């Protein structure tokens, strides 16, 4: 039996007919992005790739109004004033294709997207 926070489903999106695991993770967005997407609180999000890029891809697919709010439209890089956290660690400077922490993939810890605070 599959845990409620993780789903395993066959996928043929890669065209090869190979089954891939899809995890459902918990994502928390900053208030302005939640308002833009018309959502409240934490989002259960199915991801195909267990990476930060996979999270952003899934967010943009599910909430098209968030496209280009988390990453630059031209360079496809994460925006500098947005920070990414999980398991008490800043993942903002981790490679976007590196694997997410296992606690996030298991659904026991949320993946946090936070607006950076700056000024002087």
Residue 4's pLDDT band (boundaries 50, 70, 90)?
A: very low
Q: What local confidence, expressed as pLDDT, does residue 49 receive?
A: 94
Q: Tell whether the model's pLDDT for residue 70 goes beyond 50.
A: yes
pLDDT at 6 (0 to 100)? 36
Q: For position 48, what pLDDT does the model report?
A: 94
Render pLDDT for 18-66 as a digit per residue (tens, 0 to 9).
Answer: 445 589 999 999 999 999 999 999 999 999 999 999 999 999 999 999 9
Largest CA distance in the chain: 53
Contacts of 38 (CB under 8 A, 6+ apart): none
β-bridge pairing 22-28 and 111-115: parallel
CA–CA separation, 13 and 19 (whole Å): 9
* Euclidean distance between CA atoms 16 and 120, whole angstroms: 53
Q: Is residue 7 part of a domain?
A: no
Residue 80: inside a domain:
yes
**CATH number of the domain encompassing residue 45:** 3.10.20.30
Which residues make Cβ contacts (< 8 Å) with residue 92, sequence separation at least 6? Answer: 78, 82, 83, 84, 85
Q: What is the pTM of this model?
A: 0.78
Domain assignment present for residue 105? The answer is: yes
The domain containing residue 40 runs over which residues? 20-115
Give the number of domains in the chain. 1
Phi and psi, residue 67, nearest 5°: -55, 130
With beta carbons less than 8 A apart as the criterion, state whether 52 and 45 touch: no
């Amino acid at each position: 039996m599959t845990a409620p926070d993780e789903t395993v489903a066959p996928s043929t999106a890669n065209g090869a007919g190979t089954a891939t695991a899809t995890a459902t993770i918990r994502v928390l967005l900053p208030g302005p992005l939640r308002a833009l997407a018309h959502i409240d609180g934490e989002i259960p999000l199915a991801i195909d790739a267990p990476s930060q890029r996979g999270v952003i891809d899934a967010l943009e697919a599910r909430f098209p109004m968030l496209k280009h709010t988390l990453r630059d439209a031209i360079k496809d890089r994460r925006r500098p004033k947005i920070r990414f956290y999980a398991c008490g660690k800043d993942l903002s400077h981790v490679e976007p294709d590196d694997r997410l922490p296992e606690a996030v993939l298991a659904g026991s810890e949320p993946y946090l997207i936070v607006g950076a605070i700056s000024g002087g």
